[in-house]
Amino acid sequence: MPTPRLSDELALEAARVYAAEGHGGYRTLGLQRTTFLSRVDVARRRGLLDPRPSAVADAITNRESTRRGFSPEHDMTHVVPDGYLVKGVSTYYNKEGKAAGQWVKSTLDRERMEAIVRAELEVLSQSIRGLAPLTPAPARSFADILAVYPFGDPHVGLYAWAKEAGDDFDLDIGRRLTTGAVDRLVSSAPAAQTAVLLLLGDVFHANDQRNVTPGHGHQLDVDSRFVRVLQVGIETYRHAILRALEKHQSVIVKCIPGNHDPQAIWSLAFTLSAYFANEPRVLVDLDPSKFWYYRFGKVLIGSTHGDTAKHEQLGPIMATDRAEDWGATRHRYWYTGHVHHINVKEFPGVICESFRTLAAKDAYAAGHGYRAGRDMTCIVHHREHGEIERHRCDVAMVDA
Ligand SMILES: [Mn+2]
């Protein structure tokens, strides 16, 4: 025997209680929870009342009530459903001259309907949020050149007080400087087919919430909570990758472990790798070695933080680790961090260079007399001729 049809009154009553009290409303009506929710659902399907609060829910209700032809919330003269326009009104006057009836012709507001459907899609696609949006590839790029963006010791999470250390620095300042410098350098760099985002180590100032260096336990000045530091770091480098994808066909990301963040760096590397798993134009290199190499034609680049080997040792290390690449290349470079200042020296067969940072000095560095400048560069290599140009963004240019 089929279930008798639920009356509109009972359905409406359930929907009103649901709107006021939510799922717990079944107690007020003395119903079973499942009976209560099924009555709410019947009310919703009949277009009687939609207790869901969002505009998207309203849009769905409006479309459903179009099909059902019944929407008591909309009298069509004063209140028209979202997404509709009143096209015409005819009023019937009786013998006494009083309005006795009215016909309303409505039509779809196309623009508004499109906005509603877009809002709906936005909500529906939230379940796949977290995947990288695919950035359109650049129209053309040059296969014979390579753009390397070294990020010298970013120290995300470092806190510096200008009165004590010379300049203010915190999470928000660091993010602004890095994303600003990246924006500027990506726009000034040529459209090399491949870009390398080379994070030279000490991306994070602290390795965890203990806020000490993991090696020697030196106390660190840190801006706020470790989880927030990780979050800002991930957002900053996600921005850098997305921006690089606008200019370059392929983006290689290498996060070198530093002495400040030997474990924390992997949170960043694996998060970026997962975030861009769907983007074939991004490769996040997850090789755990302290020394990293990249071959581009007759160019061989090595990178390490610099806390475990001095520049003098790097040539022989490269020749040992990459003997065949050493023999097949003519232009060899080491890019390192750690010392926070420029130091370039040519050794037989290889040029070793350390980079500045965009981060301010902390109280320790300021107190120990360090006074290096702050900038970021993009180095351009030709596959036959090695370095052919470089672009520089001084820290002061970001806010200029
Ligand atoms: Mn450092």
Residue 386 token pair: 């090695």
Q: Under 8 Å CB-to-CB from 162, ≥6 apart: which residues? A: 168
Tell me: do 193 and 336 sit in the same domain: yes
Distance CA 148, CA 168 (A): 28
* Residue 356 pLDDT: 98
Q: Which of 392, 397, 325 is nearest to 152 (CA)?
A: 392
Q: Confirm whether 119 is domain-assigned.
A: no
Residue 8: predicted pLDDT: 87
pLDDT at residue 85, rounded to an integer: 75
CA 166/CA 170 separation, integer angstroms: 13
Residue 86 in any domain: the answer is no
Query: What's the confidence (pLDDT) of residue 68?
Result: 42
Position 128 scores a pLDDT of 47
- H or E element in which residue 189 lies: none
Whether 255 maps to a domain, the answer reads yes
Q: Is residue 338 part of a domain?
A: yes
> pLDDT of 325-372, one tens digit each?
999 999 999 999 999 999 999 999 999 999 999 999 999 999 999 999
* Structural domain containing residue 35: 1-51
Tens of pLDDT along 70-105?
455 565 555 666 667 777 777 788 888 887 777 777
What's residue 93's pLDDT?
82
pLDDT at 115: 74
Give 318 Cα–ligand 1 centroid separation in angstroms: 23
325 found inside a domain: yes
> Would you give the distance in Å from CA 66 to the centre of its chain?
40
- Sign of the CA dihedral with 206 first, then 211, 212, and 218 last: positive
The pLDDT of residue 125: 55
Q: Tell me how far the alpha carbon of residue 346 lies from the centroid of ligand 1, in angstroms.
A: 23
Residue 122 pLDDT:
64
Check if the beta carbon of residue 244 is closer than 8 Å to that of residue 149.
Answer: yes
Claim to verify: residue 47 and residue 153 sit in the same structural domain: no
Domain membership of residue 360 (yes or no) is yes
Report how far residue 219's alpha carbon sits from residue 214's, in angstroms, rounded to the nearest whole number: 10
22 backbone φψ class: left, alpha, beta (φ>0; ψ -120 to 50)? left
Instruction: Give residue 340 CA to ligand 1 midpoint distance, Å.
Output: 6
> Quick check: 374 and 171 in contact, CB under 8 A?
no
Q: Are 362 and 345 in contact (CB under 8 A)?
A: no
Q: What is the pLDDT of residue 274?
A: 96
Query: What's the total number of domains in the chain?
Result: 2
Backbone phi, psi, residue 283, to 5°: -125, 115
Judge if pTM exceeds 0.95: no
Ranges under pLDDT 70 in the chain: 1-3, 49-83, 117, 119-131
Residue 104 lies in a domain: no
42 and 185 co-located in one domain: no
Query: How large a percentage of the chain has pLDDT more than 90?
Result: 66
CA 255 to ligand 1 centroid distance, Å:
14
Distance 362 CA to ligand 1 centre (A): 11
Residue 87 Cα to ligand 1 middle (Å)? 68
Ligand 1: distance of its center to the CA of 227 in Å? 20
Q: How many helices (H) and strands (E) does the chain have?
A: 13, 13
List the CATH number of the domain containing 252: 3.60.21.10
Classify residue 128 by its DSSP letter. G
